[in-house]
Chain A
Amino acid sequence: MGRLRWLVGTVVALHDETATARTITLEVPDWPGHLAGQHVDVRLTAPDGYSAVRSYSIASASNSERRVELTVERLPNGEVSPYLTQEVAVSDRLELLGPLGGWFVWRAQQPEPIQLIAGGSGMVPLMAMIRSRAAAGSTAPFRLLYSVREPGAVFYRDELQTRSDRDRSVTLAYAYTRAAPKDSSRPPGRIDAELVAEATWPSKLGPTCYVCGPTPFVEIAAGFLSACGNRPDKIKTERFGPTGGKK
């Protein structure tokens, strides 16, 4: 693999996923292609040369030539995410380094069942996996457990539903932490051992599990998966943000 270099992408579409998250579609002429689950570094540069770089997961399928979609959640005190979710306009240019990350990836050749567990905006790289599965014609069975604050905070809701309706091998389970819809079978609350045991593949099927979300969420979810008998090397994690609490 050669040296990674900064690429310039042009914003071709913007779409608000929720009140605080936006999907940015970029046209990147020199894009080398990516695997589902990978991320990019985005660099913003002020007129005086000051620059800031942050990492964002790629949401688009791995075969999406020259097109890269990022879904960015606005952080209250963020430096880059407020710009990407509020300032950026179609035809603006952004600098990207990537694709990055060689571990938290799903490849279309993987035949085993796939367990996805998302916490909040941790859904983004898992969406790339669901999209890549369809794009590649994979028949690997996928299950998604998506923990999210409230119905209005769900990313990609309609698309997820459509994909699941169309293909019975893609199943969805939502776990709402603050406010659940009226027809929800479970009161709002954090995921627990019982829910993870019930909503995920039995470990004897040998699933590969991908868990992405804020650090405390991933710590808990990965722990429950281990407790259900999944081997540690079959549980791939991507954490973001601080550990919560004092440290």
Chain B
Amino acid sequence: MGTISRGFSGRRGAADVKLPPGQYLTTDFPVLSAGPTPRVPLDQWEFTIDDGTDVLRRWNWKSFRQLPAETITVDIHCVTRWSKLGTIWEGVSLDTILAGVKTEAEFALAHSYGDYSTNLPLEDLINKQAWVAFRFDDENLAPEHGGPARLLVPHLYFWKSAKWVRGITLMHEDKPGFWESLGYHNYGDPWREQRHWGD
């Protein structure tokens, strides 16, 4: 146990809620972004899958929205220590997006409008673990929360769920993204509290 804070009792949340270590519950939806919010008109939006050399798949907004979408209810955990439970999204599964893509790649780099990027093992994007989400709480996803569309990878800290996502590059070798180059953990499992380098 750490140093006891004289006179501190704290405000306990609901006892039956199990959060990852060091997290607190919020009902707000805070925003963490490194720069201005990009505004991406839908008629200019596109989403691609590439292998670093060639574009393997490409969608515009219209063709993307014709892909089968699903409703996802998940808990999300931000590295800045808030967790939000039972968030409801609508999006397209990465299993759908990557269907038929033949690759030996083991890593992925999601990249965004506004030049944000984040890296993940490819196996964390498949098998019903990741989506490209475009609605939150029954409304179109607001720009400050990553709209028109963001990655949703709820089993990792939320910086991995890249806002304003525009594509995914499949890679044979891992390459750190934006926050991963600036001190955040390369993988980011909230249950193992992988916040920073060396955690």
Contacts and interface: CB of A to CB of B under 8 A. Distances in A.
- Whether A associates with B in a native complex is yes
A240 B26 CA distance: 13
Contacts of A55: 80-81
B6 interface: yes
A53 B24 contact: yes
Nearest to A51: B2
Interface string A212-226: 000100010011011
Majority secondary structure of chain B interface residues (helix, strand, loop or mixed): loop
13 contacts: A6-B2, A44-B10, A45-B5, A95-B3, A100-B183, A102-B181, A103-B34, A219-B144, A223-B36, A232-B36, A236-B35, A237-B33, A247-B137
Interface of B: 1-12, 22, 24, 28-38, 80-81, 114-115, 136-137, 139, 142, 144-145, 178-179, 181-183, 196-199
A83 B8 CA distance: 7
B178 to A, nearest CB: 8
A87 B7 contact: yes
Given A83-B8, A235-B36, A236-B34, A53 B182 contact: no
A175 B81 CA distance: 32
A225 B144 contact: no
A247 B89 CA distance: 14
A183 interface: no
A240 B30 contact: yes
A4 interface: yes
A222 B81 contact: no
A46 B181 CA distance: 35
Contacts, number: 126
Contacts of B179: 103
A53 B81 contact: yes
Contacts of A226: 36
A47 B6 CA distance: 8
For chain A, which range describes its interface: under 10, 10 to 19, 20 to 34, or 35 or more residues? Answer: 35 or more
Contact of B30 (A222, A233, A241): A241
Contact of B29 (A53, A87, A243): A243
Contacts of A54: 24, 81
Given A222-B35, A226-B36, A247-B139, 10 more contacts: A3-B196, A3-B197, A4-B196, A45-B3, A54-B81, A83-B7, A101-B183, A102-B183, A103-B178, A232-B35
Nearest to B113: A232
B182 A2 contact: no
Given A247-B29, A247-B145, A232 B10 contact: no
A17 interface: no
Contact of A100 (B5, B30, B196): B196
A100 B142 CA distance: 28
A242 B115 CA distance: 24
A52 B197 CA distance: 22
- The 8 A-B residue pairs whose C-beta atoms are closest, nearest first, are A3-B198, A102-B182, A242-B28, A222-B36, A44-B5, A102-B183, A79-B11, A44-B8
A93 interface: yes
Interface string A10-54: 000000000000000000000000000000010111110111111
B115 A94 contact: no
A239 interface: yes
Contacts of A192: none
B2 A235 contact: no
A164 B11 CA distance: 42
Contacts of A87: 6-8
B31 A3 contact: no
